[in-house]
Structure 1
Amino acid sequence: MNPTRRAILQSVVTLPLLGSFSHRVSAELALGSATLETVSDGNLQLPGSFIFGPMPPDELAPILAEYGISKERITPECNLALYRDETNTVLFDVGSGPDFVPSAGRIVGSLDTLGLAPEDVTQVVFTHAHPDHIWGLLDEFDEPLFYNATYMMGRAEWDYWWDPETVNTIGDARVAFAVGAKRRMVAIEGSVEFFDDGDEVLPGIAAISTPGHTPGHMAFEVRQGSQAALIVGDAIGNHHVAFHEPSWESGSDQDAQTAVATRKMLLDRLSSENMTVIGFHLPNGGIGRAEKVDDGYRFVGR
């Protein structure tokens, strides 16, 4: 069962703030002459049912115990990928901003630790338009925060959130998601560039359709020569049940069955190619690898 919006908001208010994720930057990953790393936007605080609701409780319990995860609340990290080469400074997603949860919205401070300001970002590429990925788009004057950047989004994702019927069909728990996404998309309507599955978004960065979490969710293969990494956004949403039991449906996915197929495809590719994965909600900065074990997988961090 999906939690109500009231339950989500009450959880946000009552849980203590966790400051340990603020302004943390992960280890840098070299890709030829380019670099790929993550910058922290803080962490979310959500009821466990947001993910675990559809899962079999008896089988879920030992997995959560193994990973030290509470079934009552989850506090996943929010790790934005940052790609820099000789020309571009590319930020994947923009974080939550100040209006989603009080423990997130830390991206400006995290960039500052790297000596970067919002105006230094040349492109913003969106995986999808959920609040923790797009609500950080606007500053306190409702103007685009990354004002020098070109904004880029998958065409299918844009069309879904732009559709006036989405707010009526998304379900009560996610109405605020639809309203918030549309408000921010209006601000960049005249300057956004669209791409489709398989397109080279920028040199060395290719879009991969990964629907399910949202209808138009995109992942990105970043490749320089023989070196490559896969930015998966929320298509692999955590390091515990998503890896251990990728066939289980998650309450966080808008189309759970499609998300299962996407997740299994990504994990198979990541493990078989031994490719680096960068996940928005994966732990310790979100960079690691997927290792095949028994009937599932294990996240191995850097």
Structure 2
Amino acid sequence: MSISTGRDGRDLLNRRTFMGATADALASPLLSDRGLSSSAYAFRHGAFDIRVFSDGHMIVPASMLAIGAPADKLEEVLRRTNAPTPMAWPAANIPLIRVGGDLILVDVGDGRNFQPTEGELLASLRLNGVDPAAITKVVLTHSHPDHLWGISNSAGELNYPNATYHIGGAEWNFWMSSDVATSLPADFRGIVPRTQRTLAAIAGRVIFVKHGDEIVPGMKVFDTPGHTPGQFSLALKGEDGLIITADALTHEVISFEYPEWVNGFDLASDVAVATRRKLLAQVAAERTKLLGFHFSYPGIGYAEAFGSAYRFVAA
């Protein structure tokens, strides 16, 4: 697997800017207004009752999402998304799905361990009457901090103590490898110790899954690699289908209209670009509903053909 190297070395600068900004933000108690919502966006899809909770949002240099992109085009994208140039504020949308006797959480947010503008999930669940102990399954689409680090509290106790944890076997093997740090860009290697501790905390409850496996009937694992080696999305039966995209698509303008732009968080940019193109072609042709982790809340909509690429249409 090739690690993304971007263009003109600018990916390294962007990564350093992001990691430095994250460290500064973690040191500041005044960064964000953490007003929690007393409601979550709810809808039904086939047999699934779905509520979308927010874990807050990230603050990242927009250039991290579009390494080497023409500056004028990137500025135009930011204007359209009301982002505070030169930053982007990717949302963190986490679906809670009830089906049969199961209550399934898809990713767990960052637990206030990565960026102080995230980490709202647990409080939002409780505010909406959801006991974390009632969750029966946690699906981990991949192991980046904003999707994984909310598994346990500061004492190392599981926040979802009665759940089984479903993760791709390739993803687990990659992050738990003794030499994983050498496979990462230098400025991302600092996330490895906490990531490995977090995964180790669920070792006795983990269920490894692969492409085509069902979490429950009608909820199927759908490989979407490139962002990380073992990242997957979820395909849910019902109507024309629903795909919970994880980070195969990360921005409601960039990922759709400029799928060839290099995302600095993708570990294998060539694979990630190919995954985006294939996924977009499929969902646009089939009119499949999408739920994107990083799209503007609640992150639900469709892809439709637009010129030589696509555009996102919010549902």
CA displacement at 1:293 relative to structure 2: 1.1
Asked whether the 8 Å contact 2:241–2:288 carries over to 1, the reply is yes
Quick one: distance in 1 between partners of 2:308 and 2:39? 33
Asked whether the 8 Å contact 1:25–1:38 carries over to 2, the reply is no
SS in 2 for 1:28: strand
Q: Cα RMSD over matched residues?
A: 1.9
The residue type paired with residue 177 of structure 1 is I
- Residue matched to 1:64: 78
2:255 corresponds to 1:242: yes
2:279 corresponds to 1:266: yes
Quick one: distance in 1 between partners of 2:149 and 2:168? 17
Correspondence for 2:125 among 105, 111, 132: 111
Quick one: distance in 2 between partners of 1:140 and 1:247? 39
Quick one: distance in 1 between partners of 2:106 and 2:298? 14
Quick one: distance in 2 between partners of 1:269 and 1:67? 25
The residue type paired with residue 257 of structure 1 is D
Asked whether the 8 Å contact 2:66–2:261 carries over to 1, the reply is no
The residue type paired with residue 33 of structure 1 is A
Correspondence for 1:168 among 182, 185, 209: 182
2:189 corresponds to 1:139: no
Quick one: distance in 2 between partners of 1:95 and 1:282? 15
**Per-residue displacement from partner, 1:6-62 (whole Å, max 9, x unpaired)?**
244236657941546x44755322123321231111111122232133322233233
C-alpha spacing 1:182/1:249, structure 2 compared with 1 (3 Å): same
**Per-residue displacement from partner, 1:58-92 (whole Å, max 9, x unpaired)?**
33233333333344211111001211112110000
Quick one: distance in 2 between partners of 1:13 and 1:239? 30
2:300 corresponds to 1:287: yes
SS in 2 for 1:146: coil
The residue type paired with residue 59 of structure 2 is Q
2:224 corresponds to 1:217: no
Matches within 5 A, 1:118-137: 118-137=132-151
Quick one: distance in 1 between partners of 2:61 and 2:27? 11
Quick one: distance in 2 between partners of 1:75 and 1:12? 16
Quick one: distance in 2 between partners of 1:227 and 1:297? 18
SS in 1 for 2:237: strand
Quick one: distance in 2 between partners of 1:296 and 1:78? 25
Asked whether the 8 Å contact 2:240–2:286 carries over to 1, the reply is no
Asked whether the 8 Å contact 1:210–1:218 carries over to 2, the reply is yes
Quick one: distance in 1 between partners of 2:240 and 2:257? 27
C-alpha spacing 1:71/1:295, structure 2 compared with 1 (3 Å): farther
2:71 corresponds to 1:54: no
Quick one: distance in 2 between partners of 1:237 and 1:128? 13
- Residue matched to 2:5: none
- Residue matched to 1:17: 32
The residue type paired with residue 267 of structure 1 is L
**Per-residue displacement from partner, 1:170-226 (whole Å, max 9, x unpaired)?**
1222112222211101111122000111111221111111111111110010114x4
Count of aligned positions = 300
% same residue = 32
- Structure 2 spans left out of the alignment, 5+ residues: 1-9
Quick one: distance in 2 between partners of 1:236 and 1:32? 23
SS in 1 for 2:41: coil
